[in-house]
Amino acid sequence: MKVAIIGTGYVGLPTGIGLAELGNTVVCVDKIAEKVESLSAGRATIYEDGMEELFQKHLKSGALSFTLDMSKAVSGADVVMLAVGTPPHPVTKEADLKYIYAAAEELAAYLDGYTVVATKSTVPVGTGDEVEAIIRKVNPSADFDVVSLPEFLREGFAVHDFFHPDRIVIGADSDKARQVLLKLYAPFEGKTEFLLVNRKSSETIKYASNAFLAMKIHYINEMADFCEKAGADIREVARGMGLDSRIGRKFLNPGPGYGGSCFPKDTNAMAQMGRKYGAHLNLIETTIAKNDERKVNMGKRVIAALNGSRDGRIAIWGLAFKGGTDDCRESPAMEILNEILKHSENVSVYDPKAMENARKLLGNKVVYAPDAYEACRGADVLVILTEWEDFKAADLNRVRSMMKTHKILDLRNMLDAETVKAAGFDYSCIGMK
């Protein structure tokens, strides 16, 4: 099949590469000339584990191509996927749909033959109706259906998740569209659950899932706070809870608060939709407020670890919003750093992948260390903010030799408490005394 993908970000690019691997011809279109140029020349614009090899393979074979020209991508396509950004509106926090609507307006003119227009971006319930109306207005004779095809790819694991989906949700109100998408995703038959639902249910499934996961993280973070006070150990509590198959083990890792380009945006958009429909989503509203509060509190915890010394030196390991990605958007690390920087100017940072992106947000307010050990030079406290596997493997003796005061504040519970203490550190983490 020919598939056009509009938008080459964290959703569009891995999806395009995955669909090329499944045997389709994929043309990705983007508005940013440098991106298209870079991708066409074989330079990936984002980091995703396992992506590079497939990207090069399909670029060379011609199954995957990139263009600025919407007509090239959309003409003759069986499926057009909208994978453009839906950033939160700065004031209302609603998903801003201007890129979706602009793409719908532009693509409409080039539809030829029956085409399924599928929304991959996370969009508020009812957006499919709007997209359909826009296309119909621009091109009244077009033969098309608009479908919601939500995306559940985690950043950093997008390629893995593409090939191992928990479910494929097809939100279509027409049988013809359903058949086209069942054919596109036929390689997954027997390997995963296909959920054929109406368009609005599909749009809701995406938000409801992300908001639930965010709530699950908030819940375990709250339990961690409780454990600290009550003398229990959150690792043991989370293990005990997770073994109940109704609860499940995943997303029970306490931390400095959730972040990233999805959870904060989607919880806010869902809460806003609840307000709009007069169906207040109190659990989600609380999750958002408490998660914001948590990041500020974590910054205060770091400052408290310096015992009031204003010129104490702080080493930070981890800037990305989670391990396995270079993305710093809405990273808890950024918000914690903002709080820290109100009290201290002595901060050096290191992240295995996210230094460049962090620099765009932090500028010259911090020192960028060339490696994890250099970040610790002369430090009074080492703070772990992102769950990178590399940090687990660090040589603690070397870390100790670089630091002035041997204190580690592990806000991701990455390290083994006993090992760190045995190496001569004053160690504290989340959810235990």
Catalytic residue check, 429: no
Task: Check binding of 326 to ligand UDX (CB under 6 A).
Answer: no
Q: Between residues 202 and 210, which has the closer beta carbon with respect to ligand UDX?
A: 210
Q: Between residues 281 and 430, which has the closer beta carbon with respect to ligand UDX?
A: 430
Which of residues 151, 203, 335, 380 is near ligand UDX by CB under 6 A?
A: 151
Active-site residue identified among 262, 328, 376, 429: 262
**How many residues line the site for ligand UDX (CB under 6 A)?**
19
Q: Between residues 128 and 259, which has the closer beta carbon with respect to ligand UDX?
A: 259
Q: Between residues 110 and 188, which has the closer beta carbon with respect to ligand UDX?
A: 188
Which of residues 93, 154, 160, 290 is near ligand UDX by CB under 6 A?
A: 154
Q: Between residues 166 and 175, which has the closer beta carbon with respect to ligand UDX?
A: 166
CB closest to ligand UDX, residue no: 262
- At its nearest, how many Å lie between ligand UDX and the CB of residue 307? 27
Tokens of 377: 């030079």
332-391 residues in contact with ligand UDX (CB under 6 A) are: none
- At its nearest, how many Å lie between ligand UDX and the CB of residue 259? 4
Which of residues 155, 228, 380, 410 is near ligand UDX by CB under 6 A?
A: 155
Task: Check binding of 153 to ligand UDX (CB under 6 A).
Answer: yes
Which of residues 321, 350, 388, 391 is near ligand UDX by CB under 6 A?
A: 321
Q: Between residues 246 and 250, which has the closer beta carbon with respect to ligand UDX?
A: 250
- At its nearest, how many Å lie between ligand UDX and the CB of residue 161? 7
206-265 residues in contact with ligand UDX (CB under 6 A) are: 210, 213, 217, 251-253, 255, 258-260, 262-263
Which residues of the chain form contacts with ligand UDX (CB under 6 A)? 151-155, 210, 213, 217, 251-253, 255, 258-260, 262-263, 321-322
Catalytic residues: 262
